[in-house]
Amino acid sequence: MESKKKLCKGCDKEQFIWKSHGRYKYCKSCWLHVKPKKPLVQIPLKSKGSVIRKKSSKMSALDTVYFKLRKNFLYKYPLCGAALPNCTSQSTDIHHMKGRGKYYNDLSTWLSVCRTCHNWIETHPIEAIELELSIKKN
């Protein structure tokens, strides 16, 4: 089914109609010049005292505890617990074997690892579970 040419309101020529606006019909080139402009929305400025927090107060409290636990954990376990190929052996990261969510500060799910091994564990999750470097999430 072919479209018929109709009279364009913008150029007063027989054209293929691109858009109808109310009772008027426009070809593509005329519509681009005539189309209604969207009104600019005024975004209210924030008052000087309001600040959008990057973290919730609950997460800030958890982080305070986490950083203390992390420091002690890395001191207690200074060597990489994964010891994969290309391992640097000096642990610098905490790998949360069950994920961070509710296990964020649970020491039983932590593994002290070097950055190289941590990158490998995160990019190869299936192999990490098979090597018992990660625990499958329920």
pLDDT of 38-56, one tens digit each? 776 766 666 666 677 788 8
Q: Band of the pLDDT at 136, cuts 50, 70, 90?
A: confident
More confident residue, 101 or 40: 101
Domain boundaries, the chain: 1-36, 57-130
Q: What is the DSSP string of 70-114?
A: HHHHHHH--B-SS--TT---B--EEEETT-STTTTT-GGGEEEE-
pLDDT of 74-99, one tens digit each? 999 999 999 999 999 999 999 999 98
Three-class DSSP category at 19: strand
Rounded Cα distance between 138 and 109, Å, is: 14
* 44-72 per-residue burial string, b: 16 or more CB within 10 A, e: under 16: eeeeeeeeeeeeeeeeeeeeeebeebbee
CA distances from 129 to 10, 97, 136 (A): 66, 9, 7
Does the structure show a pLDDT above 60 at 1?
no
Strand partners, 110: 96
Does the structure show a pLDDT above 60 at 114?
yes
Rounded Cα distance between 138 and 135, Å, is: 9
Please state the rounded mean pLDDT for residues 61-68.
Answer: 94
Average pLDDT, the chain: 86
